[in-house]
Amino acid sequence: MEFSTHVRERQWMTVAGYGLFVALMVAGYYYNITFVQLGLIDLGTRLVGLSETAVSVGMAALALVTLVVAAVTGVTMDRRGWSTNLRTKLRLLFGVVCVQFVLTLVAPMVRTVPTFGAWIVLASIGLGIGFPVSFSLAIDLVPVPDRGYVAAAITAIAYFLANAIPLSWSVDVFSQVLVAAMAPGIVVLAVLSFISFDRLDAILDALGAQRETYGTGRFCHGEPIRARSLAFAVPVVLMFGVFFIDSLGFLRIIDTPSLILSSWQSPDLSTRLGIAVAHVVGAVMAGVIYANYSLSRVFLWTFALFALTHVMYTSDLRIAEVFPTIAGDGTSPLNPALYAIAVSFYTTLNFALWPDLSTSETIGTHSAIGVGVAGWLATFSSTALALYFQAADLTLLSHLNVVQALSLLLLFGLAVGLYARKMVELARENGGASA
């Protein structure tokens, strides 16, 4: 790990770069998994009075608008050279955080459907600009060999905080906590973005200059990867699959009181702490595997873990179906823990992958397409499918059965794909069979 070398050699500027990146990404991701994913449901259903279906449609719209805004932002960043200017990126981020701060502050006051719609559009614009900008900071601040570990740290901290701190899943609570957390962040970003004095300029210049070393991602050495190449499209499709499976399954799990009250919303702190620790363990494991193995190995593990998790969930439900007396008995703590490990695995991969598939010239577009298509489009599609399932009165077991089938299919597809690739490589090397 390069981090320890930097600490040993007292390169505090580089060390501070790690810290800045982790802090910004943790804040952004924590905001996303709490306020956006959970607070919005509460805002729409409880305060605005919409049905869960209507709120889900709103969330799907948020995902779609975010994707469009992100794509435009990412391409603009690369074309105008903003991707290679640290100060510009910090200014953009400052603007985004200011918008999110105001939106977070006023969210509990939203009462009407048009206001709710406007809130969603504005939030989408903020998110759409925010994530390509924040991901692009990796090329300035994070050494390539350490991206797996840094991604693991971001995932571990964000999920630990989200699970261990027993906040009620209400928009009022999220609003208060996040406004308090964002205020000092705005001040720091304002100083970094607009204040100019010799020492600060020197630090930012030095951090920006690191791009020369860290700007070319792990998979771009040799021939840079283009957005239209298979080397980029395949990870995008695989990540889309992971996000889709997770979102489709989790949407139903959080809608099932017996499952959610015995896990993520358990009144028992130890249960929540257990899940938080599982997230940390999963993130560390993913970081180690990302840094020591090929990308295909990380994907294989991620799919294997998801397949296993859903096999366990559906097996429990099948047993409960055969023995109805235990149907309301909640779920084993092993299931959410395994789920947490699987989620941490792909989240870690998501934070490290897009900068590693990019160069300084393509980071904006690649992270926008990567996170946009894999993350947001997958969320949009899975929400739409979940709504269809809901309309079709699909049972919990049938719903999770579809998720399990998808995860097994992805695992099998990836294994077959890797095997076929190896065969093609061998055929090309030998020009046919060899003794």
Partner 1 sequence: MSPTGAIPLLIVVLLMISIGGGDVQEMSVTFQGDTDADSFADVHVVAGGTTTVPGNATVGSDVYVIGGTAAIEGTVDGDVTLLNGNLSVDDGATVTGTLQTYSGSAAISSDASVGRISQFEAPTPSNSPARRIGGFLLQFLVLGAFGWWLVERHPLVAGNVGAAITEHALVSGVVGSLGATTLLVLFVYMAFTLVLLPLAIAGLVAEFLVVLYGQAVFGYLIGTRLPIESDGVATLAGIAALLLVLEILGVVPYLGGIAQLGVAVVGFGAVLNTYFGLQRFEPVTIPGGT
Calpha distance 384→324 (Å, rounded) = 30
Calpha distance 129→66 (Å, rounded) = 8
Calpha distance 32→351 (Å, rounded) = 14
Task: Tell me phi and psi for residue 332, to 5 degrees.
Answer: -70, 145
Task: Tell me phi and psi for residue 196, to 5 degrees.
Answer: -130, 115
Shortest distance, position 221 Cβ to partner 1, whole Å: 4
Radius of gyration of the chain from its Cα atoms, rounded to whole angstroms = 22
- Residue (293 or 388) nearer to partner 1, CB: 293
- Residue (76 or 258) nearer to partner 1, CB: 258
Task: Tell me phi and psi for residue 64, to 5 degrees.
Answer: -70, -45
- Residue (6 or 366) nearer to partner 1, CB: 6
Shortest distance, position 340 Cβ to partner 1, whole Å: 14
Calpha distance 104→100 (Å, rounded) = 6
Q: How many CB atoms lie within 10 A of CB 344?
A: 28
Shortest distance, position 140 Cβ to partner 1, whole Å: 13
What distance separates the 2 farthest-apart alpha carbons in the chain? Answer: 74
- Residue (31 or 313) nearer to partner 1, CB: 313
Shortest distance, position 421 Cβ to partner 1, whole Å: 17
- Residue (368 or 411) nearer to partner 1, CB: 411
Which residues, 6 or more positions from 94, have their beta carbon under 8 angstroms from its beta carbon? 186, 189, 190, 192, 193, 194
User: Where does 32-51 have alpha helices with state H?
Assistant: 40-42
Interface with partner 1 (CB under 8 A)? 2, 5-6, 14, 143-145, 213-214, 216-218, 221, 284-285, 288-289, 291-294, 301, 304-305, 308, 311-312, 315-316, 319-320, 323, 325-326, 329-332, 334-335
- Residue (53 or 294) nearer to partner 1, CB: 294
Task: Report CA torsion sign: 314, 384, 50, 103.
Answer: positive
Q: Can you tell me which residue has the tokens 């994707």?
A: 67
Shortest distance, position 2 Cβ to partner 1, whole Å: 6
**Residue count of the chain:** 435
Structure tokens at 257: 């009181």
Shortest distance, position 3 Cβ to partner 1, whole Å: 11
- Residue (171 or 291) nearer to partner 1, CB: 291
- Residue (102 or 334) nearer to partner 1, CB: 334
